[in-house]
Structure 1
């Protein structure tokens, strides 16, 4: 092929690529112009009816447009801000909660209730409705002035205690020739024990009971408070098993609801000319008046990782991104205070330590406050333990101060499959923790020694950051998980309150009269969003293919342990994310 023809082909290829990207940009421009504007008429009701996922970290404004999931997620802070904006919006007459669409995390519900309680102080009413009630959606309905359900025996309300079900794999793994050894520092650190045991340990069971008994008691007290029922009567109702699959008629008899309406009839009760705006659309009206002073919010949402970021991933807190964000905040003179918002069960011990060191450096320049979301356990607690003040919701899962690692070996499985691993090495520990052999006592001793040092480092940070004496911490740490209320009582946190309360505290404490919020990590732009969502689509197609055509189970297991061969086990600060 001649050089001239090659050049022509390169020019045509470049032109084609340019046309493609210009077409994509034009498409998004058209979409943005085509999106209907949100109209809020006078005497409208804000409807809490978002049935998607509430996420902590900021979403890209382009998220979901390409893959079609734009209404599947909503930023939690925008949900709270929308309620706050509605309290001052003269066009909004009140709020209607559609309980059939509001199944949110307990800790998130507690923060939403804070916002609704503040909203009601304006004198505007809040009405709640459900046809199928459970602990989850009834919790948010408690904030309503009145709760209604349809007058039919087909509708029901079930209020229960709790159940925690954990599958234990040890026996099943042994049948296919896989052995797992979970190493814990902390008697109550139960993470990964379900891979190495056939039944739950007494320590983990007692930890769960203590945690969830307190969470359940918080729920009972909330019912007593909001429904004006004596606490003893609420407890007696639950203990008698009279709260399971009860009809609306019985729910009213027990004072759990106020009356009967079908949803459309409730609208007419609110206003004969009822006009509603859903919270997702209403949140699009949130304006951002630029202020000279800023408060930064760093979202640590997901598993903590010491890897590098590839695209914007809210399921992982990546040290590399975290470090860059902290250093950018330090350099920004307009940022007067910083809030670390934690929603993480932990992860890498190394990344947790590195992130904490970044935050310690940040504290030398700006005040740092910590807000715990649904879970701030193990590594999640680690990174937040030195904040100037720690806020938590009552049902947050916090603490779990301990260290865990899990070792796998696939020796028997390899033998069953006729696979023989030959190893060439120079020194004794060159194949340390290889899954192709059983770990020796010496190797496990090396791992435990390292984990002991990490645990001592963890507890030293907590002792210094929280001012808890070492002897007292021994009864708080050891891997125990606590509710937010328990964490305040034992000194692991300072105050009950959500993200908004943390923002208010930061503003008052630092005499910030007006401020804008800067959120980190920054969400992807258009091109990065396109790239990641195209990748998601390809990934979903692959999953769909596997579901349709299936995969041989032995092939899956074989691929798994071959991919893991030679990869040493990591030491983690991790807590079982059981909600």
Structure 2
């Protein structure tokens, strides 16, 4: 006997309802289990692992639960975690496991300040060093005690800046570049037009290294209670130091295995031999998931923390050899629109960790930020680097903060055009072109620019440079001649940028948040809620709300990133690899407002 149509429709509706409710219930159960697994003990040691490049913020793959444990904490993660821990009565001590840290001087300096804040609250901070180098040791010196891995070696061999020059090897295969440079200190063209560094490059990099090295020797020797000359002598004459000699020199306090140290801390907190049931060590990821993130709000008022991290690109998806996307115009627009539409957001803090990038994209970002700053107070916080196009974006700030060792400035423009006519001749490649318009084929990579086209190429770079220094002059209220005297591609530390009038104050992220609260006349007796942009969704939120790439795409991208990090660390790639990649593939002219090089402490 056939069922009635009404009965069939009812069954289908029930089936649809079941298919909808079951996944939702499963998600709710998973969410509850995930949250319950992050209940913290009443007393514990906060155990943070610091390694890698200290990205400013986490990527999307970090939100996937099965990969989050392998993803290093970002700089902002660490800053907010340490800020929480300083006031959290449950946190009795901190253990920092430091090894393989490759970070800019300003990031290490800001972390040192956060560690000092924790110590000022009477909480002991211990550093455990595994195969440490200069960067690891510099950060560890901020702690109360340094424990070195038993049997290991401490490599303190100083600082260096290295640039590779490709002109000769590329010339051998028939590739060369034509360049426009505004001005002489904008040295990003040099690897492709020279066989060695210019005097201006050595002047800039030498000055920055002097500042960083002076900070390194002064801070580490002062914290360890040894003379500056002694530390300098160890670096110059010994470099590779065993755990026993490191203790003799006063560089470390003791040596132990990680297992021994953690068991000792466990016994200290619990008074018992550690077992799986009374583990008193809590990881940074567990702590982050169990506290109000990123800061406990005590009222309705909010501050939007908008981060520009990575090279500035025109559109989403442009990346450095597939290793990671830059910050694009549309993403910033979405962040600003959301922050301005939220009536509870009283002020904006723009956090910049960018060497710059596409000149026109940088100018468009500044225009959007200037418009936003008219509606709500905007304060800028410079992280490791805020240079060239990154500095241009900072011009929107009512107040601009830089860490003393932030790398900033690099106000200038350069452009490179590849031409492969010699390569074509070597390979015998044939080419016929039909054009309409006298200059239709002028920018082809198959031939050099002729005199007229080259003059236009250079003139266009000069116009962008003039526009750039004009923006700086208006924002910083400086005469054009004064701006030009500190521009031309010159690079500054945060301390020297303050003296040059390019920034307003030295300080870190929390200094900028405090200044934004004052500008917005917020209630200073209550902590505001911090809203992070671009929005960082949890894996639960992405499952519920969906993602443009879909879950398989997200998982695939996350695994790809993880594998690439294992086999080809990002630090081995130049910060301008994205530009060179696009340049070589397309042959187009690109106008860049970008920092020509990086300084990383290793």
Q: 1:98: which partner in 2?
A: 97
- What do the CA deviations read for 1:529-576 (whole angstroms, capped 9, x no partner)? 6264255279789999xx9xxxxxxxxxxxx999946x5311110113
Q: 1:198: which partner in 2?
A: 195
Q: Alignment partner of 2:76: what SS?
A: helix
**1:438 aligned residue (426, 448, 462):** 448
Q: 1:399: which partner in 2?
A: 409
For 2:281 and 2:435, locate their aligned partners in 1 and report how far apart those are by CA, in whole Å. 71
* Cα displacement (A) at 1:277: 1.0
* Cα displacement (A) at 1:70: 5.6
- Check the 8 A contact 2:315/2:330 in 1, yes or no: yes
Give TM-score, length-normalised by structure 2: 0.81
Give TM-score, length-normalised by structure 1: 0.84
**1:244 aligned residue (225, 239, 252):** 239
Structure 1 window deviating more from structure 2 (77-86 vs 294-303): it is 77-86
User: Does residue 1:482 correspond to 2:492, yes or no?
Assistant: yes
Matches within 5 A, 1:132-211: 132-150=131-149, 154-211=151-208
**1:256 aligned residue (251, 259, 262):** 251
Q: 1:363: which partner in 2?
A: 373
Q: 1:281: which partner in 2?
A: 286
For 1:222 and 1:283, locate their aligned partners in 2 and report how far apart those are by CA, in whole Å. 29
- Check the 8 A contact 2:106/2:383 in 1, yes or no: yes
- What do the CA deviations read for 1:326-361 (whole angstroms, capped 9, x no partner)? 233233322111111111111111111111111111
- Check the 8 A contact 1:171/1:198 in 2, yes or no: yes
- Check the 8 A contact 1:396/1:484 in 2, yes or no: yes
Q: 2:63: which partner in 1?
A: 63
- Check the 8 A contact 1:309/1:321 in 2, yes or no: no
Q: 2:590: which partner in 1?
A: 570
Q: Give RMSD over aligned pairs.
A: 3.4
Q: Provide the aligned length of Structure 1 versus Structure 2.
A: 544
Identify if the C-alpha distance between structure 1 residues 161 and 322 changes in structure 2 by more than 3 Å, giving closer, same or farther: same
- What do the CA deviations read for 1:23-64 (whole angstroms, capped 9, x no partner)? 987876665455471243233111122446643346559733
Identify if the C-alpha distance between structure 1 residues 157 and 195 changes in structure 2 by more than 3 Å, giving closer, same or farther: same
For 1:516 and 1:561, locate their aligned partners in 2 and report how far apart those are by CA, in whole Å. 40
Q: 1:550: which partner in 2?
A: none
- Check the 8 A contact 1:148/1:259 in 2, yes or no: yes
For 2:81 and 2:421, locate their aligned partners in 1 and report how far apart those are by CA, in whole Å. 56
For 1:561 and 1:155, locate their aligned partners in 2 and report how far apart those are by CA, in whole Å. 43
Question: Where do 5+ consecutive residues of structure 2 fail to align?
Answer: 1-14, 270-279, 569-580
User: Does residue 1:533 correspond to 2:554, yes or no?
Assistant: yes
Structure 1 window deviating more from structure 2 (88-97 vs 19-28): it is 19-28
**2:306 aligned residue (298, 306, 323):** 298
Identify if the C-alpha distance between structure 1 residues 278 and 167 changes in structure 2 by more than 3 Å, giving closer, same or farther: same
Identify if the C-alpha distance between structure 1 residues 98 and 59 changes in structure 2 by more than 3 Å, giving closer, same or farther: same
Identify if the C-alpha distance between structure 1 residues 267 and 64 changes in structure 2 by more than 3 Å, giving closer, same or farther: closer
User: Does residue 1:374 correspond to 2:384, yes or no?
Assistant: yes
For 1:44 and 1:132, locate their aligned partners in 2 and report how far apart those are by CA, in whole Å. 26
- Check the 8 A contact 2:302/2:347 in 1, yes or no: yes
* Cα displacement (A) at 1:379: 0.6
* Cα displacement (A) at 1:366: 1.3
- Check the 8 A contact 2:100/2:131 in 1, yes or no: no
- Check the 8 A contact 1:377/1:398 in 2, yes or no: yes
User: Does residue 1:520 correspond to 2:533, yes or no?
Assistant: yes
Identify if the C-alpha distance between structure 1 residues 231 and 53 changes in structure 2 by more than 3 Å, giving closer, same or farther: closer
For 2:583 and 2:364, locate their aligned partners in 1 and report how far apart those are by CA, in whole Å. 31
- What do the CA deviations read for 1:280-327 (whole angstroms, capped 9, x no partner)? 211111215554211111111111122256999963111122123223
For 2:478 and 2:87, locate their aligned partners in 1 and report how far apart those are by CA, in whole Å. 43
- Check the 8 A contact 2:314/2:361 in 1, yes or no: yes
User: Does residue 1:215 correspond to 2:212, yes or no?
Assistant: yes
* Cα displacement (A) at 1:413: 1.7
- Check the 8 A contact 1:215/1:483 in 2, yes or no: no
